[in-house]
Amino acid sequence: MNFKAIEPVGNKLKILDQRRLPREVRYNEYDDYRDIIESIKTLEVRGAPAIGIAGAFALAIAAQAEVKTDLERLKKILVDIAREIRSARPTAVNLAWAVDRTLDKANHYAGDRIDEYRRILWNEASLILAEDEAMCHAIGAHGQALLKDGDTVLTHCNAGALATGGSGTALAVIYAARDSGKKVKVFADETRPLLQGARLTCWELMQEGIDVTLICDNMAGFLMQQGKIESVILGADRIAANGDFANKIGTYSVAILAKEHGVPFYVAAPTSTFDPGINSGEDIPVEERSPDELTNWGGVPIAPPGVKTYSPAFDITPAELVTAYITDKGITWGKRKGD
Amino acid sequence: MNFKAIEPVGNKLKILDQRRLPREVRYNEYDDYRDIIESIKTLEVRGAPAIGIAGAFALAIAAQAEVKTDLERLKKILVDIAREIRSARPTAVNLAWAVDRTLDKANHYAGDRIDEYRRILWNEASLILAEDEAMCHAIGAHGQALLKDGDTVLTHCNAGALATGGSGTALAVIYAARDSGKKVKVFADETRPLLQGARLTCWELMQEGIDVTLICDNMAGFLMQQGKIESVILGADRIAANGDFANKIGTYSVAILAKEHGVPFYVAAPTSTFDPGINSGEDIPVEERSPDELTNWGGVPIAPPGVKTYSPAFDITPAELVTAYITDKGITWGKRKGD
């Protein structure tokens, strides 16, 4: 890839500031876990896999910063910090998963050397990043087999390299198809309210030389009606045991439209996105975001002052609407396979 | 209503500048038909019925401005001007309808008094406006019977008083329900790219004291999934002989979502929107608009420079998805009536 969304540099974490894309390509380096929490909350870094990686490094960085302490006290402090990091965003399972995994790994250390404990945290965060890169690669390799030369794919939000430590989830499939010699075009939903499709997906696909066309979210149905879309590929923030999944608001509408038009609907996600502790979509918490995201753009009001808003960040798509899940372990066919 | 979108004042046409809403409430007065064409093209005045009225007055105003001419020459000049006005926006049938009707009426005048000819044009434009007000009232009166006390209605774009010479089409139903003592809530799709829902529908419903909540277009499906919407009511720009209709881009997606969730889908439009000369939706021309509307907001880029875009202003919804057409002549049940 021609860029990295998230990368450890020395003992800091370097993050591409996605709030500023596409106007400005700026990287920030953090050595305070509270700044990384803020970075996650304000969507400087976003995408379920990427915020998992950021959360794991935030924990490792917090352990480094606590210098005036002994190992037992550090362990106690980190339990609270881990909770704080996990709660930065509630919907994506990867954040909690990565933070817990990193802390568990370190807490299995039976020795008494605090430096070693810190090193284990940092190594585990690095391992999560490396595994994520490998997972992206595997998702791409498995998923590209579903695309034919000349296909046009619709995607929603950004499930790309900007959302992961590697080449992405949904967009990894596009890159892998390209690398295997297939010409694939993409239509990108702009993805209101935060325009991740317009700002991020278009930016990264253009960086990588992929033929991308921007549309408004409400144009997807008309495109499908005209037979211009061969498949939908998008990401997931959390997948329940029954196959229901949470993803960026608007995903459910795209899934209904895809079913109506007989367009295959693929969900690309690493296995860490599957949450066996959640039975169905009804149990996935959906974060509601600030009215400002609907009523203002760049400080300019686009709605009357004081208007009521409803702004769920995610929606829940039932398993019945999924043709297949593209994971790092291979293709898992969904309930719409037979369509 | 607490405002008028379009109103003749003396021998000028007064237009509420909808490009500036909701930030500024500004009226402009025009006595040059070319300014009115520009006003139609730039969406200062918009909505199928309102641009019909504006087109009719543009013709009457053009006739007044041509002072150094005789009647026969004026008639010839007006044929060209009528063509110019009709072509300001291609999709809505009302514009061509209103301009042709005004010109035909005047051309039936058999006398030789140029002032009388000009007066007939002006009177016909005024009559179209008066009839539109009456039509809005009739649409509201018929449509409100479809709503129950406590219903929540989803609407798309702005088919309100701002789009007509009266109380609107889709929103006339809301106002009439309120006036008949029913408490009705509205969810307004923001309606990208030009945000007529956020800027105009929210503004006018708030002016009239209606309980309105703004959402992004891609949130409508999630709302319906949660059972929060009792019916969809929206307008139409052109209705073909078979019942297919053109309306603001995104309408087709809403229609699919409504069918999927068993939510009644109502199209509110005056009879002038029905175009018997068009057999089906396939024959309705769909205007494509500038990429800027997708890539910029208030001069701020929201997508990478040079990104390709696809921006149809309208989409075509097949008759199969319509529960009923609410017109000034009454309710015409559609093919989804039995749902």
Task: Look up the CATH architecture of domain A141-333.
Answer: 3-Layer(aba) Sandwich (3.40)
At B152 the pLDDT is 98
Return the closest-CA partner of residue B159 out of B132, B128, B131, B125: B132
- Residue A179: pLDDT band with limits 50, 70, 90: very high
- Asked if A253's CB is within 8 angstroms of B295's CB, the reply is no
Q: What is the mean pLDDT of chain A?
A: 95
At B91 the pLDDT is 74
Confidence check: pLDDT of A339 > 80: no
Burial bucket for residue B108 (CB in 10 Å: 0-12, 13-18, 19+) = exposed
- Asked if B306's CB is within 8 angstroms of A220's CB, the reply is no
Strands, E, within chain B: which ranges?
6-9, 12-16, 27-30, 152-155, 185-189, 211-215, 231-234, 238-240, 245-248, 265-268, 274-275, 296-297, 300-301, 308-309, 314-317, 324-327, 330-333
At A75 the pLDDT is 96
Give the whole-angstrom CA distance, residue B292 versus residue A301. 19
Average pLDDT over residues A32-57: 95
Give the whole-angstrom CA distance, residue A30 versus residue A12. 5
Tokens representing B136 are: 């809005």
DSSP class of residue B276? T
The percent of chain A in helix, strand and coil, each rounded to the nearest 5, is 45, 20, 35
What is the DSSP pairing of strand A245-248 with strand A238-240? Answer: antiparallel
- Enumerate the residues of chain B whose CB falls inside 8 A of the CB of residue A300: 23, 297-298, 300
Give the whole-angstrom CA distance, residue B111 versus residue A15. 79
Domain boundaries, chain A: 6-137, 141-333
Confidence check: pLDDT of A95 > 90: yes
Average pLDDT over residues A5-27: 95
- Asked if A302's CB is within 8 angstroms of B297's CB, the reply is yes
- Of the listed A132, A189, A217, A237, which one is catalytic? A237
Tokens representing B213 are: 């909540």
At A53 the pLDDT is 97
| Identity of the residue in B219, B253, B300 whose CB atom sits nearest the CB atom of A257 | B253
The three-point CA angle A135-A138-A142 to 5° equals 140
Q: Chain B: residue nearest A157 by CA?
A: B218
Tokens representing A307 are: 């208007």
Cβ–Cβ < 8 Å for B220, B237? no
Q: Is B3 on the interface with A (CB under 8 A)?
A: no
At B285 the pLDDT is 85
**A189 catalytic per annotation:** no
At B272 the pLDDT is 81
At B290 the pLDDT is 87
Q: What is the mean pLDDT of chain B?
A: 95
Average pLDDT over residues B249-263: 98
Contact map slice: B 126-185 vs A, CB within 8 A: none
Confidence check: pLDDT of A192 > 90: yes
Confidence check: pLDDT of B92 > 80: no
Helices B71-86 and B48-65 pack at an angle, to 10 degrees, of 150
The residue behind tokens 């026969």 is B72
Confidence check: pLDDT of B339 > 80: no
The three-point CA angle A320-A322-A323 to 5° equals 120
Confidence check: pLDDT of A298 > 80: no
At B90 the pLDDT is 77
At B192 the pLDDT is 97
Q: pLDDT tens digit string along B264-322? A: 999 999 888 898 999 999 998 888 888 999 999 877 889 999 999 999 999 999 999 99
Q: Is B250 on the interface with A (CB under 8 A)?
A: yes
- Enumerate the residues of chain A whose CB falls inside 8 A of the CB of residue B218: 189, 191-192, 217-218, 249-250, 253
- How many other CB atoms are found less than 10 A from the CB of residue B64? 16
- Enumerate the residues of chain B whose CB falls inside 8 A of the CB of residue A256: 221, 256-257, 260
**Across the strands, what pairs with A301?**
A296
Average pLDDT over residues A16-20: 95
Q: Does domain B6-137 have CATH number 1.20.120.420?
A: yes
Q: pLDDT tens digit string along B185-243? A: 999 999 999 999 999 999 999 999 999 999 999 999 999 999 999 999 999 989 999 99
At A184 the pLDDT is 98
At A315 the pLDDT is 97
Hey, which residues of B are catalytic here? 237
At A259 the pLDDT is 98
Q: Chain A: residue nearest B302 by CA?
A: A199
Q: Does residue A272 sit in helix, strand or coil? A: helix
Substitution target in B253, B297, B316 with the highest count of A β-carbons within 10 Å is: B253
Contact map slice: A 283-302 vs B, CB within 8 A: 294-295, 297-298, 300-302
% of chain B at pLDDT higher than 70:
100
Give the whole-angstrom CA distance, residue B64 versus residue A297. 43
| Identity of the residue in B214, B217, B256 whose CB atom sits nearest the CB atom of A260 | B256
* C-alpha B337: how far from chain center: 25
Confidence check: pLDDT of B61 > 80: yes
Give the whole-angstrom CA distance, residue B147 versus residue B138. 15
At B308 the pLDDT is 97
- Asked if A192's CB is within 8 angstroms of B190's CB, the reply is yes
